[in-house]
Amino acid sequence: MELQQLVDRIAAEVMPGGASADYIPALARVDARRFGMAVATLDGEVSGAGEYRQPFSIQSISKAFTLALAVGDELWERVGREPSGSPFNSLVQLETENGIPRNPFINAGALVVTDHLGPGASDRLLAFLREESGNDTIGIDEEVAKSELDHGDRNRALAHFMASYGNMRNPVDMVLHEYVRQCSIAMSCADLAKSALFLARHGVRNDGERLLGVSGAKRVNAVMLTCGTYDAAGQFAYRVGLPGKSGVGGGIVAVVPGRCAICVWGPGLDARGNSVAGVDALDRFTTLTGWSVF
């Protein structure tokens, strides 16, 4: 089956469900039944269905890209790479684990990655995403950023707690500012799928330059598989069988190494903060194509 026919079929059959994120008011207002899906193949061709050109709040999908920009031996001294089995904004493990977050995709871990990138982290991320997607209009949704800062007590607590263990190098306010801006970037499924292609190309960007070595790309993909959907990572691997990174805006990016990158958007979330339609669509995709890492 052609990819275009495949995404059209999935868009027609997908089962939406869940509710939009309610703890960030600007996200709670988005209709949970919207849907888009895009598949970008290694040559940059995009097949899309539904609202695949509609920008949405990328939220924690940003964490896959910031990890790729920051990854290296030094980072792994400050953050682990084991699944947490806990909600994405949980505080509990930090106390018994000396302020070292379990992995770079829970909020505590992503705050460390942002701290590691330092001042200007969100501008670097934005520049990278614009270059990979070829879309200069990608920007930050200021309403979402403000809403998130106004309701950011949990992230502020996580950052201060880690600072008390010496695991923050920059002032907490600066790190939170950069983190919130990263999460508040608005992008479409088409642009996200194109931007994730370096992970399908074993580290090579769309212009042929290398962002990561082969091992580096393998490592980012491995952490996405084991930790990218938080305390549902086991269920996601079971149903979809691909490295994936979700966000509470309802997007999920998934990677088929050597073939393509996929982005699905459906704002209705399950109890763990993952898109219900997004997981369903990716489950259908790997079932219909047989393209999984297993």
Q: Which residues bind ligand DON (CB under 6 A)?
A: 59-60, 88-89, 107, 148, 155, 183, 246-248, 273
165 annotated as a binding-site residue: no
**Structure tokens given for 244:** 């994936």
Q: Is residue 63 annotated as part of the catalytic site, yes or no? A: yes
To the nearest whole angstrom, how small is the minimum distance from the Cβ of residue 208 to ligand DON? 31
Catalytic residue among 46, 175, 248, 253: 248
Catalytic residue among 175, 230, 253, 255: 230
Nearer to ligand DON by Cβ, of 121 and 204: the residue is 121
52 annotated as a binding-site residue: no
Nearer to ligand DON by Cβ, of 47 and 148: the residue is 148
184 annotated as a binding-site residue: no
Catalytic residue among 20, 47, 57, 60: 60
248 annotated as a binding-site residue: yes
Nearer to ligand DON by Cβ, of 36 and 247: the residue is 247
58 touches 183 (CB < 8 A) = yes
Q: Is residue 133 annotated as part of the catalytic site, yes or no? A: no
To the nearest whole angstrom, how small is the minimum distance from the Cβ of residue 154 to ligand DON? 7
**Structure tokens given for 5:** 């026919």
224 phi/psi in degrees, rounded to 5: -65, -45
- Separation of alpha carbons 120 and 76, rounded Å: 21
Catalytic residue among 63, 184, 194, 223: 63
189 touches 265 (CB < 8 A) = yes
129 touches 122 (CB < 8 A) = no
Residue 120, classified by CB atoms within 10 Å of its CB into exposed (0-12), middle (13-18) or buried (19+), is exposed
Q: Is residue 179 annotated as part of the catalytic site, yes or no? A: yes
- Separation of alpha carbons 216 and 24, rounded Å: 33
- Separation of alpha carbons 75 and 39, rounded Å: 31
Q: Is residue 23 annotated as part of the catalytic site, yes or no? A: no
Q: How many CB atoms lie within 10 A of CB 205?
A: 16
**Structure tokens given for 137:** 């209009």
Nearer to ligand DON by Cβ, of 36 and 109: the residue is 109
Q: Which residues are catalytically annotated?
A: 60, 63, 179, 230, 248
Binding positions are: 60, 107, 148, 155, 179, 230, 248
Binding positions for substrate are: 60, 107, 148, 155, 179, 230, 248
